[in-house]
Homo-oligomer: A and B are copies of this chain.
C-alpha cells in the first residue's frame, strides 16, 4: 500500500480543489502575465495568509495533455497511468466503461471517392451541429449493433465528435493502445488503415476497419458527414479510486466532458447541473458542499483563452473567478487549494511545461511570503517547486487527515 494511504485518518475537514485550467502563463503585455495584469483584490488578500508555490505537472520540460495534467494533481503518477483519448472521451460523455471495453474517439468527417481511393476533404465534417451528430449516431446505433464478437456502443459528443466502444464478452488487453489513429491529420490524404500489435490488437483493428466501412456505407449519401475517423484506441487503466487512495468522498464540478471523464476515472461523483459559467459552478458547489469530503471544481476558460492567445479574455476570466472567491471562502473549507493542471501561455497558444502557481489556504501555513497570486510572486512561497503528485498528500496533511509516520 502507498505510504499516504497507510496513514489516512478520518475527520470532518473538507478540501476544495479549484483548478483553473491552463492557469500559468508568460508575459503578455508590459512584461506582465494575465495573473499579473488581472485586478484580483480577493486573491491578493487570500494569498497573504496562504502557502504558495508551484507544481511541475509531470516532469521538467514536459508539456502535459489534460489527462496527465489532472492525474498529476489528483496524485496519480502520470508517467505510470496513461489514459487514452478514447477512454477520456467515453467517460466524459457519461459512458461507464468496463474491463471488457475498448474505447475510441470518433470524428465525423467528409470524404470524396476518387479513382477508388477515399480522400479526406474535411476532418471535422464542417463541425456539424451537435443535434445533427445525435441524429447520425441514433441512425448508426440502429444499424451497427455488433461486429464479430464485439457489441458496438455509440455516443454523440459535441459537434463532429463521437465515442465508439467495442464491448467484448471478456476482459480486454492494453495492447489495443498500439493501434494507430485512422485520421491522416491532413486533408487530401486517405484515412489510414488501423493496425495493431499483438493478437487481440489485430482483432480490434479488424473490427475497427469493418466499423469504418459500415459507417461509410450507411452514410454514403449523407452530407457533409459521410465518414468516420478513429483516434485514441484505449482501455480503462487500472487505478485505485480517490476513495481507496485517500479515503475521501469526492465530487467533480466541471463543464467539459474530458474533465468529467478524468474525475470519473478516479471515482469522483459527477455533479449534474445546468449552465456553464463560473457562477453556475459555484451555485452547484454550494448545493453539494455538505455531502462530500472533497470537491474538485474545474474552470475551463482560462485554458481556452490561453489556447486562443487571447490574454485580455484570460485576464477577464481570472477577474471573474476572483469576484466569486468570497463565496468559496464562505463555505469555510478546511483546506482550499487554487491551482491549474498545467500552463497555457497566450503567446504559445498551447499547453506548456512551465510550473503552475499553487495556493493552499489553511490555518497551518506560514503565509506572508507572496504579495500576489502570480507566477513570479509564488516563487517566493513556502511550498517551493514540487511535482504535482505531491499536492494531494499536502492537502490531506493540511486537513489533518494523515497520521504520523513511524514512532
A196 contacts the other chain (Cβ, under 8 Å)? no
Q: Give the CA-CA distance A83 to B407 in the complex, in Å.
A: 8
- Chain B CB count within 10 A is highest, among A7, A31, A379, for A379
Q: Give the CA-CA distance A170 to B203 in the complex, in Å.
A: 45
Which among B65, B353, B355, B375 is the interface contact of A407 at CB below 8 angstroms?
B65
A380 contacts the other chain (Cβ, under 8 Å)? yes
In the assembled complex, which residues on chain B have CB atoms less than 8 Å from the CB atom of A390?
59-61
Interface string of A39-69 (1 = CB under 8 A from B): 0000000000000001000111111111110
Q: Give the CA-CA distance A68 to B58 in the complex, in Å.
A: 25
Interface string of A386-407 (1 = CB under 8 A from B): 1000101111111000111111
Q: How far is the CB of A50 from chain B (nearest CB, A)?
A: 13
Interface majority SS (helix, strand, loop, mixed), chain A: loop
Query: A347 near B363 (CB under 8 angstroms)?
Result: yes
In the assembled complex, which residues on chain B have CB atoms less than 8 Å from the CB atom of A34?
none
Q: How far is the CB of A208 from chain B (nearest CB, A)?
A: 18
Q: How far is the CB of A248 from chain B (nearest CB, A)?
A: 14
A366 contacts the other chain (Cβ, under 8 Å)? yes
A85 contacts the other chain (Cβ, under 8 Å)? yes
Q: Give the CA-CA distance A60 to B394 in the complex, in Å.
A: 6
Q: Give the CA-CA distance A390 to B363 in the complex, in Å.
A: 30
Q: How far is the CB of A224 from chain B (nearest CB, A)?
A: 25
Q: A363-B347, A366-B26 given as contacts; is B82 within 8 A of A406 (CB)?
A: yes
Interface string of A339-353 (1 = CB under 8 A from B): 000000101101111
Q: How far is the CB of A109 from chain B (nearest CB, A)?
A: 19
Query: A61 near B4 (CB under 8 angstroms)?
Result: yes
Give the contacts of A345-388 with B (CB-CB under 8 A): 345, 347-348, 350-355, 363-369, 375-376, 379-382, 384-386
Q: Give the CA-CA distance A79 to B6 in the complex, in Å.
A: 12
Q: Give the CA-CA distance A259 to B396 in the complex, in Å.
A: 29
Query: Which chain B residue shows the least CB distance to A54?
Result: B384
Query: B366 near A62 (CB under 8 angstroms)?
Result: no
A1 contacts the other chain (Cβ, under 8 Å)? no
Query: A3 near B380 (CB under 8 angstroms)?
Result: no
Query: B406 near A365 (CB under 8 angstroms)?
Result: no
Query: A366 near B27 (CB under 8 angstroms)?
Result: yes
